[in-house]
A and B are shown apart, each in its own frame.
Chain A
Amino acid sequence: MTKGFIFTLDAAIALFFAVALTAAVSGFLLSSAAGPAADVSLQQLAQDVLTVMDKNGTLKGMLPAEGGNTTAYAFLTSVLPANAGARINVTVYAYRGDSCPSDYCSSVCGSCSSPTGFCACKNFTVSVGSVPSSGVAVARRFFTDSSTNKFGLATIEVWWK
């Protein structure tokens, strides 16, 4: 009777350790399979979206003083996979040497902020979905228009839903 109880207890403890170890190993396995691969594909997606926006002229179309939000939202919804969300921030600058007087900024931008060499002409953010606290890939892209001497910076955050 006592011997049987000890055997059963021993088997139960052994089973517990086996299950715990198997769970730990499975955890490692799952995280190693999905983690980096997901990071790479997400980063690639972020870079691809901005590259297409730059090369097809969408970003350059945001350089004028007004607008851009609607275009950006329409573009993101058309190119993003159904299981991905994104938020894009676009800032447009004009350059004027070491300092950037507000009258110059207002003549170029219509309005002005941060007049320190580069006038920040406009800034807007468009989001498709809400940004999670982790698992977000970030890419940035410069764009310019030499005919108007304006410079733009687009920053995109992409995540899997």
Chain B
Amino acid sequence: MRRGVIFNLLAIALFSAILYAAFAMNASRLQVFARATDLLVAGKVEYVWDDVTEDATNSISTGIVQEDYNLTVYDTLPPICGQSICNLASLPLDYVYFVRNYSQPDMEVRFLAPGANETEISNETTAIVIHPFEMEYYYPQYAHNEMFLYIPDAVTVPPSPLNWINLELNFSDYNFSGSPSWGKYWSCTPPAAECVAVNVTLRDANGTRWSSSNYWFNTDKKSVLDIYFTGCTTNVNIGKQQAGDRKTIDVINSCGNAKTAMTMNFNTLNYWVDFLAKIRVRDVNYNASRAALTTDLGK
């Protein structure tokens, strides 16, 4: 009788141990599944973000090189986009439409304006912003052959963080017809608050080089460089059109394609660039997302 009780107790203990082990295994298995799912979702979000960011930055014919005190923006006016003319503002939108139409239903991809949280990217918000000076490199809406560099008034006030600007234009389709000349030139003497040093260098399709002898510009007034080609004229405008306007360097190319390189030299390394937009990828089912500026790609 006593032996039977002991056997029964032993059997119950063994049975309970096996049951406990089974439950523990199950709990552990669920934990592993949860972690694996997290890993899968995070991997997918990161993967889609990387894919979209790479394509979006490759889709525009603009390059930015930040090298110590020099920041150079390379561009083509108008950009060469095969069947249709495109620019920084329009081509990413094509890509935005493509991603919207053909991305996986569970992966939400959004292109956000710099600094904005939920605003979708639009033509108006596409600009390269140089912080903390708030200088902007941008295009007038729907214009395919014109670009601006906006220089806030405060930037030129001594001690100005902007030492000089170097603007190079290489025209690939036309040759100079006579020497380029300043139709209007407003000089100044540094360190006046409106003074900006700008060096302009031009090359035509033959490789003929022209370099401006004027260096200091009074940006409260508008200086105009006329570049004559056979059959067309291109302009570089430096300064405000009129009092109250934005202070800009404005390049309007009406003569085929021109490769441009605008280098800004600052007296500090404490500047950074916001480029294009933020791209946010979200897994709808798991509410996991990554949102970052496209310039974070290389960091």
Contact = CB atoms under 8 A, between A and B. Distances in A.
Contact of B43 (A43, A144, A153): A43
Contacts of A140: 103-104
Interface SS majority for chain B: helix
Interface in B44-98: 44, 47, 50-52, 54-55, 58-61, 79-84, 86, 91, 94-95, 97-98
A155 B169 CA distance: 42
Nearest to A143: B55
Nearest to A91: B102
A28 B32 CA distance: 12
A21 B22 contact: yes
A149 B15 contact: no
B154 interface: no
B44 A151 contact: no
Nearest to A29: B25
Contacts of B91: 146
A35 B36 CA distance: 9
B26 interface: yes
Contacts of B54: 54
A139 interface: yes
Interface string A118-161: 10000000000000000000011111101111110100000000
Contacts of A35: 33, 36
B44 A43 contact: yes
Most buried by B among A29, A32, A37, A43: A32
Contacts of B232: none
Nearest to A94: B83
A149 B83 contact: yes
B38 to A, nearest CB: 10
Contacts, number: 108
Interface string B1-28: 0000000000100110011011001101
A37 B22 contact: no
B40 A43 contact: yes
Nearest to A153: B102
B170 to A, nearest CB: 18
Interface residues of B, number: 47
Contact of A146 (B51, B58, B103): B58
* Interface residue range, chain A: 35 or more
B99 A149 contact: no
A43 B58 CA distance: 26
Contacts of B60: 146
A149 B84 contact: yes
A73 interface: no
A108 interface: yes
Nearest to A60: B58
Contact of B83 (A29, A108, A141): A108
B287 interface: no
A22 interface: yes
A94 B58 CA distance: 17
B101 interface: yes
Contacts of B32: 32, 36
B29 interface: yes
Given A32-B32, A140-B104, A40 B40 contact: yes
Contact of B33 (A17, A32, A149): A32
A39 B43 CA distance: 12
Interface in A39-83: 39-40, 43-44, 47, 51, 54
Interface of B: 11, 14-15, 18-19, 21-22, 25-26, 28-29, 32-33, 35-37, 39-40, 43-44, 47, 50-52, 54-55, 58-61, 79-84, 86, 91, 94-95, 97-99, 101-104
21 contacts: A21-B18, A21-B19, A36-B32, A47-B44, A51-B50, A51-B51, A93-B98, A95-B94, A117-B97, A118-B98, A118-B102, A142-B52, A142-B99, A142-B102, A144-B59, A146-B59, A146-B61, A146-B81, A146-B86, A147-B82, A149-B84
Which 5 pairs of residues, A with B, have the shortest CB-CB distance? A36-B36, A32-B29, A148-B82, A21-B18, A151-B98
Interface of A: 14, 17-18, 21-22, 24-25, 28-29, 31-32, 35-37, 39-40, 43-44, 47, 51, 54, 93-96, 107-108, 117-118, 139-144, 146-151, 153
